[in-house]
Amino acid sequence: MCGLSTATRRGLAVSSDLPRRVSTLFPYIRSRMIIISVEDIKILLTQENPYLNKLEDDAHQQAKKIEMGSIVLKYRPDSSVL
């Protein structure tokens, strides 16, 4: 790692540990997770104000069941498999 700044080395250490950290949180965030499709991702990335009602029906229905607050969007290449 010669030549890398201290901040870069710290960033690499944190990102390499990320899967373990996310798996620790998974039991707590599972109820706030919405599975989205590639079409939903396109909407989220291209629209200025991508409201949840603009998502496909399946994702929108999932969102309506969650109380107000933060959500986790999870992309699966085949969103029909939950």
Does residue 3 sit within a domain? no
Summarize pLDDT for 34-72 with one digit per residue, the tens.
999 999 999 999 988 888 889 999 999 999 999 998 888
Does residue 44 sit within a domain? yes
Contact between 9 and 1 under an 8 Å Cβ cutoff? The reply is yes
Does residue 39 sit within a domain? yes
- What pairing do the DSSP bridges indicate for beta strands 72-75 and 33-36? parallel
70 lies in which domain range?
24-82
| Model pTM score | 0.61
In percent, the amount of the chain with pLDDT more than 90 equals: 32
Q: d(Cα 14, Cα 40) in Å, to the nearest integer? A: 29
Does residue 19 sit within a domain? no
Residues 6+ away with beta carbon under 8 Å from 27: none
Does residue 54 sit within a domain? yes
Contact between 51 and 79 under an 8 Å Cβ cutoff? The reply is no
Does residue 15 sit within a domain? no
Q: Residue length, the chain?
A: 82
The residue with tokens 């104000």 is: 49
